[in-house]
A and B are shown apart, each in its own frame.
Chain A
Amino acid sequence: MIKKAHLTQWLDRVAQGYDLFGPVLDGVVQFERVNSSDQLVFDYANSVVPPKNLFLPQTECLFAFRREEGSIILEPRGGLERERVLFGIRPCDARSLLLLDEVFNSDLEDTYYQEKRRGTILIGLACPSPPQRTCFCTSLGIDPLSPEGVDVLLTDLGDRYLVEVTTEKGEELVGLSQELFFPSAEGEKLKGEKGKSLEEVGEKIGSLWEDGYWRELSRRCLGCGVCTYLCPTCHCFDLTDVGSTLSGKRFRCWDSCMFADFTRMAGGVNPRPTGKERVRQRYFDKFSYFPEQYGVLGCVGCGRCSQYCPMGIDIRTIINEVIARGAK
């Protein structure tokens, strides 16, 4: 356990030895690098942009290149200067990182992602109750009080936090200020409530490829990138060279399957020509392709897409519709 009043003291100690990231109010709540704990906010539901951008930045330079005397010289970029600590990640987002690990460490290891992932210690913050109205992680079998995927989990118990340390790295962090921590009494761990399970969406969606629902849905959808960019598990990117043929940089930038040019080919042909195909792609990816490849639904129920959709499209409504319409 740690007293609430002592939390900032501990985080300041952490910030001395590590690059500390946490929730700050920068227009909206975002995970950003901080120098001291007074930049952090503690009463937040979740960040707008998920913490995936610390591991798969929206814009990331992979290397610089230049031509010199007939050869091409590459200068690698990326890499962390210091080990990082991310404070305040929610259990749904922690779970999303485990899903992204599958993607970026499948056949080939994505070194840019893995380097940041390995070099970051996660201090999770169990979710406050009641949850946001768009939250539905419990319907996907995720516990908003679970330490899964984090090194240390803090659970708010009024004037103190319950501290669960699950890894050696977590021990190291706690060890920095051992004097602030004290043992907990038995049975203080809270249990998360389970919501109505929506997990059968994965079994049902396959039968709905030709269903009229996707067209219906796409009429409302504007095709912007809000749902994908704010999704903690969406991870599509595009590579782009900036500069000239003599010198420049190669960047990797987020991309979105909701954009028309995501699948448009050089000749102008687009295999997903209308909103219908693009909307369908997003949900098939989450509930069909992802489980097929990695054995788990590609959604963690954070609710950001529902909360920020410009047109009020709600993923839970879609899931329920799929369950109602689909056959096993």
Chain B
Amino acid sequence: MASDDDPTILVFACNWCSYAGADLAGVSRLEMPPHCRVVRVMCSARVRPEFVIAALSRGLDGVVVLGCHPGDCHYSEGNYYTRRRALLLKELLEHVGIEPERFQLRWISASEGAKFAQTITEITGEIKALDGRREPPPEG
């Protein structure tokens, strides 16, 4: 099912919930598009918006940040900060013409393996539906 047309998506997953959720999706052998690269971070609040900007500017097709559901953060409040930042960042990206589909924040708990697979499938589809891929980093 892998095809070169599939967009490459960078996924930041929090160590305590979402990464475990991704793991569960894997051990459950759920099907999902293979063109995503998961980076484990200790908390979704670890994801500096600069990471997202840099990734999108270097030719990745999308960036997804996954964190614990509000109220469930291992550090009590990390994901509340993430929520504020993500909304602002999305507005900024959209303002310069980067489609909102390319940067998304989702809450995935350790038990939500199926939601992880579904989220990746859904977002891959959304990004694929946009006109064309991100332009690759420039040639010299």
Residues of A in contact with B (beta carbons under 8 Å apart):
61, 64, 77, 249, 251
Query: Which residues of the partner chain B approach A77 to less than 8 Å between Cβ atoms?
Result: 140
Interface residues of B in 105-140 (CB under 8 A from A): 139-140
6 cross-chain CB contacts under 8 A: A61-B139, A61-B140, A64-B140, A77-B140, A249-B140, A251-B140
Interface residues of B in 74-96 (CB under 8 A from A): none
CA distance A251 to B139 in the complex (A): 11
Please list the 6 inter-chain residue pairs (A to B) with the smallest Cβ-Cβ separation, ordered nearest first: A61-B140, A249-B140, A77-B140, A64-B140, A251-B140, A61-B139
B11 to chain A, nearest CB (A): 22
Query: Which residues of the partner chain A approach B140 to less than 8 Å between Cβ atoms?
Result: 61, 64, 77, 249, 251
Interface residues of B in 5-53 (CB under 8 A from A): none
The range of chain B's interface size is under 10
Residue of A nearest to B140 (CB): A61
Query: Which residues of the partner chain B approach A251 to less than 8 Å between Cβ atoms?
Result: 140
CA distance A249 to B137 in the complex (A): 12
CA distance A20 to B104 in the complex (A): 45
Query: Which residues of the partner chain B approach A64 to less than 8 Å between Cβ atoms?
Result: 140
Query: Which residues of the partner chain A approach B139 to less than 8 Å between Cβ atoms?
Result: 61
CA distance A77 to B139 in the complex (A): 11
A112 to chain B, nearest CB (A): 12
Query: Which residues of the partner chain B approach A61 to less than 8 Å between Cβ atoms?
Result: 139-140
Query: Which residues of the partner chain B approach A249 to less than 8 Å between Cβ atoms?
Result: 140
CA distance A249 to B140 in the complex (A): 7
CA distance A64 to B140 in the complex (A): 8
Residue of A nearest to B137 (CB): A242
B76 to chain A, nearest CB (A): 38
CA distance A61 to B139 in the complex (A): 9
CA distance A163 to B119 in the complex (A): 69
B124 to chain A, nearest CB (A): 26
CA distance A251 to B140 in the complex (A): 8
B79 to chain A, nearest CB (A): 34
CA distance A61 to B140 in the complex (A): 5
Residue of B nearest to A75 (CB): B140
CA distance A237 to B133 in the complex (A): 33
CA distance A27 to B139 in the complex (A): 25
CA distance A249 to B138 in the complex (A): 11
CA distance A153 to B139 in the complex (A): 36
A169 to chain B, nearest CB (A): 29
Residue of B nearest to A61 (CB): B140
B57 to chain A, nearest CB (A): 13
Residue of B nearest to A64 (CB): B140
B97 to chain A, nearest CB (A): 17
B139 to chain A, nearest CB (A): 8
Residue of B nearest to A62 (CB): B140
CA distance A60 to B19 in the complex (A): 42
CA distance A54 to B139 in the complex (A): 18
CA distance A251 to B137 in the complex (A): 14
B24 to chain A, nearest CB (A): 33
A12 to chain B, nearest CB (A): 30
B38 to chain A, nearest CB (A): 21
CA distance A316 to B139 in the complex (A): 41
B5 to chain A, nearest CB (A): 24
CA distance A64 to B137 in the complex (A): 14
CA distance A64 to B139 in the complex (A): 10
Residue of B nearest to A60 (CB): B140
CA distance A148 to B139 in the complex (A): 37
